[in-house]
Amino acid sequence: MKKKPAQDFVFDPKLCRELMTKFCIHAEIPFLKFEDPYLQVWIDSMQPAFQIKGRHTVRDDAMKMYQEMKKDIEIEFENLDSRICLTSDMWTSNQNLGYMCITAHYIDAGFNYKKKIINFKEVRYPHTGFAIEEAIVSCLTEWGIRNKIFTMTLDNANNNTTACEEFVKYHKNELLLEGQNLHVRCCAHILNILVQDGMKIIHRSINKIRELLKHIETSPTRLQDFNTIAIAMGLASKKGMCIDVANRWNSTWKMLVQALVYRSVLDSYASQHLQEYPIEEEWARAKGICDFLKAFEELTLTVSAHRKPTSHQFLPVVLCIRHALKDPAWQTSEVLKELASVMQTKLDKYWDPNEKDVDQNRRRKSKEIELNPALVIATFLDPRRKANYLDFFYSKVCNSDDQVCNHVDAAIDMVKKYIREYEQLATTGTAYSTPSSQGGSIIVGSPIVGKRKLEEEFAQYRSRRRTTRVQRSELDTYLEEICEVDMADFDVLNW
């Protein structure tokens, strides 16, 4: 044997069965595979003492493991002092059945970021806001966390807005500040819509490139012909073509980048196989847009990260988008000016707090998006930015100094509201007790007792004096401290 055990090996059938179940779950092995006649033969060649169970038993083992893991998470939720943020999306099966996936995001006592998928269930048709709200409430009730929710991040669909409104209407007493900032519109989803709208101006070029790549990809012979041309032109061969997913703009961007690298190869291949391909002008438009969208690819990766918190990066992302759309240095051609104009129109609808052509009443009626205060506060709580960044941000997006002051003051007031809310929760939810200062061996009248009593009285007096003289909060201290240095590997939770 190449790999010999470090010590005498003792076969444990229970452990083997448990590990087999974990492998089955992780590798997504169909339960039916465990009734394959060659599986037991293979296992016998390694360990004859281990008997493979049937598919029903393996399924029961998997469900038992699931229930044990679920119980562990329920206990973790029960002991959790922080609030939980939810993200959710709908998924449609091949049978056109709608399913909802809900993920819980939270920070544990050690300030470690956690995420757990807590729901993947069918939602009754039609998928109205009421049906979505019913599914969310059912999930939260099942896990016992209805009173621990802070925000829900959903895509920008009207039924999701209705679902959040219904949730706040019936459960506002269980939410912080009665759910004022419950609904967060998914930044990644809005960014996707933003760029998708812009890319419509070159949809003909994209369709031609996509169809040409599909023609190559669907036949090994045609792929070989493509690689023959590529090698002759000094380019690397391809194992397969990068074809986009229609509803993910960055996959389209990657497809265009690949196509531009192999442009001469694609032109030659299309001519030989009598396929339609982009003309010179269409290639030029695609190249200009690809260079422009590189910045948006980086922003998409920033807001799509799912193993670390991202809410404190929301305002910087908005500023980056605005800068890219308004900076004349980016708009070097008519196609880029057109692209920026289309995307700016969509941006004004979603994030611009000072859209000139839309008054507040119209905004409310059309349910257009304003900045969620929770996201503003998250940026404020980034020790590299604090209140200074709010001043900087609103000075970029507002039309007057008064508007800047109003927005910053409103954000600080909202922070104070949350602090008071948490203080009240801490006061009502925690019982404090003062331990007795007297020991059993010390008699009444002892000088030691008198000394300790005086020390306690002085400590209380000193505490009262400090409280009355200096009314300082943790928020004041946070604001007065110097901002942290902004480094690429800065970890806000570790701070």
Q: pLDDT tens-digit profile of 265-280?
A: 999 999 999 999 899 8
**pTM for the full model?**
0.77
Interval 234-248 mean pLDDT: 86
Which has more pLDDT, 41 or 364?
A: 41
pLDDT for the residue numbered 409: 92
What does the buried/exposed string (b/e) look like for 23-51 if buried means 16 or more CB atoms within 10 Å of the residue's CB? ebeeeeeebeebeeeeeeeebeeeeeebe
Mean local confidence (pLDDT), 404-408: 91
Query: How confident is residue 73, by pLDDT bands cut at 50, 70 and 90?
Result: very high
Say yes or no to pLDDT of 448 above 70: no
pLDDT at 443: 39
On the question of pLDDT at 50 being above 50, the answer is yes
- pLDDT tens digit sequence for 278-329: 998 889 888 888 877 887 888 888 888 888 888 998 888 888 888 888 878 7
Collect all residues with Cβ–Cβ distance below 8 Å to 283 and sequence separation of at least 6: 205, 260, 263
Q: Tell me how crowded residue 489 is: count the other CB atoms within 10 A of its CB.
A: 5
Nearest to 385 by CA among 460, 490, 294: 490
Per the CB < 8 A criterion, the answer to whether 339 and 292 are in contact is yes
The C-alpha atoms of residue 454 and residue 459 are separated, in whole angstroms, by 9
Q: What is the mean pLDDT of residues 426-435?
A: 54
Q: Is the pLDDT of residue 447 over 60?
A: no
